[in-house]
Structure 1
Amino acid sequence: MAYTINDDCIKCGACASECPVSCITEGDDKYVINADECIECGNCANVCPVDAPQA
């Protein structure tokens, strides 16, 4: 199952820069993961300071 980013996101951008397939983009209120492109590597979750990406 692809990762999603919950409302705890503080829009720091750490997750987007670590994504090897560039499927994370900045949304209006938080960053968003394209579920069709996510390879479930967990890099986003590993670098997020507020644990916003969830599997």
Structure 2
Amino acid sequence: MGRNKKFFYDRFNFRKAFSTDDLNDIAVALGITMADIISSARLAAGMKSPDLEVTA
């Protein structure tokens, strides 16, 4: 992705947010879509919160 370690460190430690461009670049690098990333995050959030309704 052409980003340095600090870029990822700051984002994975919630010091800075990923932008939509960042998420798109990550999706492309992984060979998936940005929608796949969002769906995965929703699923994970739903597993942690039984009150949250998860729809596909």
Q: Normalising to structure 1: TM-score of the pair?
A: 0.27
Larger radius of gyration between Structure 1 and Structure 2: 2
More helix by share: 2
Select the structure with the greater relative contact order (CA < 8 A; seq sep ≥ 6): 1
More strand by share: 1
